[in-house]
Amino acid sequence: MEYLQRNARKRIDPQQVLPGARSVLCLAASYTVPSSEFRVPSLSRSETRNPKPETSNGVVARYARYHDYHDVLGPRLKQLTGFVNRLGGAGTRSLWYVDTGPLLERDLAQRAGLGFVGKHTNLISRELGNWIFLAEIITTLELEPDLPEKNRCGTCARCIDACPTHAITGPFQLDARLCISYLTIELKGPIPVELRPAIGNRIYGCDDCLAACPWNRFAREGKLMKEHGRRDLEQPDLIELLSLDEAGFKRKFAGTPILRTKRRGLLRNVCVALGNIGDTTDLPALQRAARDPEPLIVEHARWAIDRIQKKSGAKEGKD
């Protein structure tokens, strides 16, 4: 997370992003789908004691079950930015960003009236719920601002209670070092051993705090992202993923956000998931992974093997 420090001054001063900036247009795109289409449960520590299904399936955060949203939203933002420049006339300059620019996008979105920052530190829209992508156009064109949205969390604390690793340390306070999204995506090294059991079968991100929010019941289905969905990422088979070589990984996840983790990161996560929900039938695949040329995969595969063997031994002892 060092990039946050590098761009800290720009994040609090839009003039350093675009000299002469007068306005920021904040936009949201929904990726809500009917709840019936998302029946892949993330397993908690207690639930992993239940009988294992025929296949070991992982859970991917909802936003990553599509083609990369940067690629989907980017061309549309580019077109809209051109319109803004034409609207402002000669000399108008604008820049667009999709989750990548040095802007405090959630704070700006709240100031623009798109939604409010919830206790889980993500933006909540009264119309779109929690399942939204944010984008911005910063421009030298002066526009009349919309009214800001006020916080509407009230006394609700469902998102705090839902966090598997207790990363939400208090209302509006997040310890990113404990967040499963950070651990499975941004973290490049080993996942801390003490946090691995709480990850369950999540292999890319976590939606638990977002899914717990009662504002989701008002969300409308998103049309923009719907056609870009990847059904094969809804219930990925962990054993199949563990067999991917470098070429296979790139081929399977081409054009998706999951490429960010690289093969080493994703297979690290898969090993942790198998360690949490797997049984002895998964050991051959994990033993092959324990001979992988990538040390990060080897270390997590060995952890998973040891965990399954201990669970198996404990079960046999009870029998």
pLDDT at 315: 64
| 143 domain residue, yes or no | yes
| 240 domain residue, yes or no | no
- For 233, the token pair is 């990422």
| 278 domain residue, yes or no | no
Above 50 in pLDDT, residue 257? yes
| 268 domain residue, yes or no | no
Above 60 in pLDDT, residue 100? yes
What pTM did the predictor assign?
0.88
Which of the residues 71, 99, 175, 279 is marked catalytic? 99
**Residue 36: which pLDDT band, with cuts at 50, 70 and 90?**
very low
Above 90 in pLDDT, residue 181? yes
Above 80 in pLDDT, residue 250? yes
b or e along 39-77 (b: 16 or more beta carbons within 10 Å of the residue's beta carbon)? ebebbeeeebeeeeeeebbbbbbbbbbbbbbeebbbeeb
Task: Quick: pLDDT tens for 132-151.
Answer: 999 999 999 999 999 999 99
Other C-beta atoms lying within 10 Å of the C-beta of residue 92: 16
How many angstroms from the chain centroid is the CA of residue 49? Answer: 26
Catalytic residue flag (residue 99): yes
Range of the structural domain that residue 130 is part of: 2-235
| 241 domain residue, yes or no | no
Q: 202 pairs with which residues across the strands? A: 59
| 263 domain residue, yes or no | no
- Identify which of 264, 233, 297, 304 has the alpha carbon closest to the alpha carbon of residue 59: 233
- For 268, the token pair is 């690290």
| 198 domain residue, yes or no | yes
Above 80 in pLDDT, residue 40? no
Residue pair 162/212 in contact by the 8 Å Cβ criterion: yes
**Residue 5: which pLDDT band, with cuts at 50, 70 and 90?**
low
Mean pLDDT of 213-230: 89
| 50 domain residue, yes or no | yes
How many domains does the chain fold into? 1
Q: Which residues contact 299 (CB under 8 A, 6 or more apart)?
A: 190
Using CA atoms, how far apart are residues 27 and 117, in angstroms rounded to an integer? 15
